[in-house]
Amino acid sequence: MAERTSSGRSRGRLLLTAGIASTGILSFLYLALASHELSATDYGHVSLLWSIAFVILSVIYRPIEQLLSRTIADRRARGLHDHSLRTPALIQAAFALVFLVVALALRTRIQDDLFGGSAALYWILVISVLAYAGSYFARGWLAGHERFAGYGGLVLLESTSRFLFAVAAVLGITSGQTAIAIGIAVAPFVSLAVVPFALARLARGGHDPLPDASSVAVLDAAGEGPAHAEIEEASADLTLKRGSHFAIAVFAIMLAEQTLMNAAVLIVEHDSGPALAGFVFNVLLIVRAPLQLFQAVQTSILPHLTGLEARENAAEFSRAIRVTVLAIAAFAGACAVGLLAIGPWVMETLLGDKGFTYERGGLALVALGMGFHLVAGTLNQAALARGRAPLAAVAWLVSAVLFVAWVASGFVADEVLRVETGYFGAAFILSCLLFALYRRPAD
């Protein structure tokens, strides 16, 4: 039974990786087709919509995904199978309601100042953000139960449906900015098609299987059953107070991460217009695509590390972090070398010539920054698994503030180079701060 469970989990992780890898590729191609199909200004507005939407999604919904994933994994590692969804659902609904109130109050400013007066882009933003509440909630539930195949299918359906709207425009079936952008709002509805299948599979199988090495519950000193204190602690994990504290800390982390990814686009758009903002967005696609792929690692590593922490398996915990960091270093190094060699040609071929020049040194610097960013993401999951979300949030916020201050300053005259150097420096500082937290002795 244990071998079949482990084998099924391994297949699920492979499907998760394949699904998210395809998602990264399809997301890149969606933006590439949009860049070719639209004018520089129209593409700038679509890329700005993408940036704003996914900043909001990551900031207000990823905390609940992480909360569900960590808490369910921890309870399963301790031999508990009842996972209350009421508290995370309430927090998720509160975040969505706050967004809706703010979006309606600022409609004129958002529509006119950000989207050039396009009411269509404004409503696409509102509908897509509200719809993604269900999608991210489902992701957290699937990750906590280690239903990685379902998670991979969800994100694959999302990206495929969005990509098809860009394909339709290229083929002449539709045309224009709105026809391409509306795929952003449709995608989350399509993605939820996997949820009934996941629920049906869980119902057929009864209780979901425990993680590796946890089929035997945590024993008390007498060896008679689960330790009462640990069971009580696990049972309290989804109270409103505990859940809110964790969600707020992860909210800050997601806000800081999205600041690293998108603040530069907003600052450049304000200072120099949507065309250059769209170009900066394209440069940072070097980061976005690997981060999309890395979601497969983040999704699977948090419940895995949480289970190891619950079972006090420090050696395996450290090994998982070490292996992941080494793989990231090799990947980022290869990307940097490739961009130094043929980076400008690849970017212009895939994303088109919008009147700006890609510099190979700057592209390689962004690739190295991407490596530090991925390392920071790994160390962040270790901090969450160990219950150190507030301290991790401080590290992220410090790095984000430094990045914004650098990009908004005039220390480097070239705005694109200022973004590239700022991103590298902020990612390096962040990884150092989180490594210091990782090496900190247990409380």
DSSP string, 410-426: -SSSSHHHHHHHHHHHH
Residue for token digits 């895995």? 304
For residue 283, pLDDT over 70 is answered with yes
DSSP state of 95: H
DSSP state of 219: B
Angle between helices 40-77 and 183-191 (to 10 degrees): 20
Task: Give 229's pLDDT tier (boundaries 50, 70, 90).
Answer: very low
Task: Give 361's pLDDT tier (boundaries 50, 70, 90).
Answer: very high
- pTM for this model (two decimals): 0.72
Residue for token digits 């650098």? 406
**pLDDT the model gives residue 237:** 46
- Token digits for 319? 């090994």
Asked if residue 283 lies in contact with residue 369, where contact means CB atoms within 8 angstroms, the answer is no
Please list, in sequence order, all residues whose beta carbon lies within 8 angstroms of the beta carbon of residue 5, skipping any fewer than 6 positions away.
Answer: 209, 210, 212
Mean pLDDT of 314-339: 91
Asked if residue 184 lies in contact with residue 126, where contact means CB atoms within 8 angstroms, the answer is no
Query: In terms of pLDDT, which residue wins out, 214 or 113?
Result: 113
Please list, in sequence order, all residues whose beta carbon lies within 8 angstroms of the beta carbon of residue 148, skipping any fewer than 6 positions away.
Answer: 9, 12, 13, 15, 16, 142, 299, 300
**pLDDT the model gives residue 210:** 47
> What percentage of residues in the chain have a pLDDT greater than 70?
81
Query: In terms of pLDDT, which residue wins out, 132 or 67?
Result: 132
Partners of residue 219 on adjacent β-strands: 226
Max CA-CA distance within the chain?
Answer: 73
Which residue, 121, 101, 68, 14, is CA-closest to 302?
68
Which residue, 229, 228, 227, is CA-closest to 218?
227
Asked if residue 60 lies in contact with residue 132, where contact means CB atoms within 8 angstroms, the answer is no
d(CA 84, CA 99): 25
Mean pLDDT of 208-226: 42
Top-ranked range on mean pLDDT: pick from 127-136, 255-264, 391-400: 391-400
Average pLDDT score over the chain:
82
Asked if residue 139 lies in contact with residue 296, where contact means CB atoms within 8 angstroms, the answer is no
Q: Name the percent of the chain in helix, strand, coil, to the closest 5.
A: 80, 0, 15
Query: Where on the phi/psi map is residue 117: left (φ > 0), alpha (ψ -120 to 50), or beta?
Result: left
Query: In terms of pLDDT, which residue wins out, 204 or 293?
Result: 293
d(CA 184, CA 127): 9
For residue 217, pLDDT over 60 is answered with no
From residue 45, alpha-carbon distances to 262, 288, 349 in Å are: 14, 18, 21
For residue 259, pLDDT over 70 is answered with yes
Which segment of 100-109, 179-188, 240-249, 370-379 scores lowest on mean pLDDT? 240-249
Please list, in sequence order, all residues whose beta carbon lies within 8 angstroms of the beta carbon of residue 84, skipping any fewer than 6 positions away.
Answer: 238
For residue 199, pLDDT over 60 is answered with yes
**pLDDT the model gives residue 443:** 62
Burial label for 439, CB within 10 Å (0-12, 13-18, 19+), is exposed
For residue 16, pLDDT over 90 is answered with no
- For 226, the 3-state DSSP assignment is strand
Mean pLDDT of 378-385: 92
**pLDDT the model gives residue 102:** 96
The pLDDT tens digits for 200-214 are: 666 565 445 444 443
Which residue type sits at 164? L
Which segment of 139-153, 244-258, 363-377, 405-419 scores lowest on mean pLDDT? 139-153
Task: Give 131's pLDDT tier (boundaries 50, 70, 90).
Answer: very high
User: Which alpha helices (H) appear in 148-213, and where do they start and end?
Assistant: 148-170, 177-181, 183-191, 195-205
Burial label for 346, CB within 10 Å (0-12, 13-18, 19+), is middle
d(CA 314, CA 16): 26
- Token digits for 238? 């989804």
Asked if residue 150 lies in contact with residue 13, where contact means CB atoms within 8 angstroms, the answer is no
d(CA 433, CA 399): 9
Asked if residue 176 lies in contact with residue 39, where contact means CB atoms within 8 angstroms, the answer is no
Angle between helices 183-191 and 119-144 (to 10 degrees): 30
Mean pLDDT of 416-430: 95
From the centroid of its chain, how far is CA 303? 16
Sign of CA dihedral 191, 247, 88, 442: positive
How many residues are recorded in the chain? 443
> What percentage of residues in the chain have a pLDDT greater than 90?
34
Asked if residue 9 lies in contact with residue 148, where contact means CB atoms within 8 angstroms, the answer is yes
